[in-house]
Amino acid sequence: MAERMRREQPTVTWFCPQLPPSPQAAIDLTLKGITGWPPDSTAVIGSSLGGFYATWLAEQTGCKAVLLNPAVDPARDLARYIGEQTSWHDPQERFFFRNEFIQELHKLTLSHMTLAERYLTIIAKGDELLDWREMQARYVGAQVHLLEGSDHGLSDFEKHLPVIMAFLGFDR
């Protein structure tokens, strides 16, 4: 996504920090990075737990959000991972997922979403980690692209870029 934006939308400000394991610290870092950005021309993109964060950020700021296999109840799903973990993208990188992070996730959990049209959700029925039915039920009214196969990491991500770019208004 970063490469596509650099190549095709060079005037767009791109902010994609490495998020810390603490959900609250991740939200704080992102909010600080987008402070002052106008909601009508800002969008957040998140995958899995990042989709949960992107939903929260969209609700707080009023911006658009693209969600890729978004986590619906990460406090429940991540409770069994307390302790030392390896990074999804780099198994050599290790971090400690603390019990208090579950409480942070509970505090960030929203009871409902507003303005469903601000969301594009790409959900893979082949997601091996999250239940696609839960994702679909959570984002009723949003623009949902339900994929018959694929996987949690959307290894076929490249083919979904035209839909994402169009949703973000870059097809013009």
Q: Supply the CATH classification number for the domain 2-8+19-73+113-167.
A: 3.40.50.1820
The domain segmentation of the chain, as residue ranges, is 2-8+19-73+113-167
Predicted local distance difference test score (pLDDT) of residue 172: 55
Q: What are phi and psi of 147, to 5 degrees?
A: -95, 135
Render pLDDT for 9-18 as a digit per residue (tens, 0 to 9): 999 999 999 9
Give the predicted TM-score (pTM) of the model.
0.95
Share of the chain above pLDDT 90, in %: 94
Concatenated DSSP letters of 44-111: EEEETHHHHHHHHHHHHH--EEEEES--S-HHHHHGGG-EEEE-SS-TT-EEEE-THHHHHHHHH--S
| Confidence band of 91 (pLDDT split at 50, 70, 90) | confident
Render pLDDT for 111-168 as a digit per residue (tens, 0 to 9): 999 999 999 999 999 999 999 999 999 999 999 999 999 999 999 999 999 999 999 9
Predicted local distance difference test score (pLDDT) of residue 88: 72
Q: Is the pLDDT of residue 89 over 90?
A: no
Nearest alpha carbon to residue 49 among 108, 116, 103: 108
